[in-house]
Amino acid sequence: MALSGLRQGDIIMLDNAPKPEHNHEQKGYRPWLVVSDPFLTVVTPFAWVIPFTSEEKYFPTVVKWDGKKEGTITKGTLLVEQMTSLDLENRQYKIVDHVDHIPQQVFRNIVSILGI
């Protein structure tokens, strides 16, 4: 049940298909940032993740991800408004990167979106 080895700050590659065809959710094989506390991945098969996109987005909820600044190969835009919980025990994923400190703007955006 537990997702041993998966940590907050991991960047994983996975395909979140199937998704409805005509919607604005991110689809396809792409990087996702794991933001959930390790407690969740130890006791459940789930992780809260945020998708990256290579496109420039200008919503107030997105966070630009500069791979050089963050010390990762991964770069792009984090779509914080699309944070979701995925059952990773039943999906093929690969850890491709890790960041020790997730930028505070990511967590500020999550708090703002959830209204907590």
CATH number at 23 reads: 2.30.30.110
* Helix H or strand E segment including 67: helix 67-70
In tens, the pLDDT along 52-83 reads 999 988 889 999 999 999 999 999 999 999 99
Domain membership of residue 93 (yes or no) is yes
Q: How does the average pLDDT of the chain come out, rounded? A: 87
The tokens for 39 are 């407690």
Which pLDDT value is given to residue 95? 95
Domain membership of residue 4 (yes or no) is no
Query: Within 13 Å and on the Cβ side, how many CA atoms surround 36?
Result: 21
Domain membership of residue 79 (yes or no) is yes
Residue 21: is its pLDDT beyond 60?
Answer: no
Domain membership of residue 82 (yes or no) is yes
The number of domains in the chain is 1
Which pLDDT value is given to residue 24? 46
Domain membership of residue 53 (yes or no) is yes
pTM of the model: 0.88
Domain membership of residue 1 (yes or no) is no
Domain membership of residue 47 (yes or no) is yes
Domain membership of residue 5 (yes or no) is no
The tokens for 68 are 């050089």
d(CA 50, CA 54): 13
Residue 20: is its pLDDT beyond 50?
Answer: no
Integer-rounded Cα radius of gyration of the chain: 13
Residue 105: is its pLDDT beyond 70?
Answer: yes
Query: Within 13 Å and on the Cβ side, how many CA atoms surround 99?
Result: 23
Domain that holds residue 81: 10-114
- Residues ≥6 apart with Cβ < 8 Å to 51: 16, 26, 30, 31, 32, 78, 79, 82, 84
* Helix H or strand E segment including 47: strand 46-53
Least confident of 7-16, 26-35, 99-108: 26-35
Which pLDDT value is given to residue 92? 87
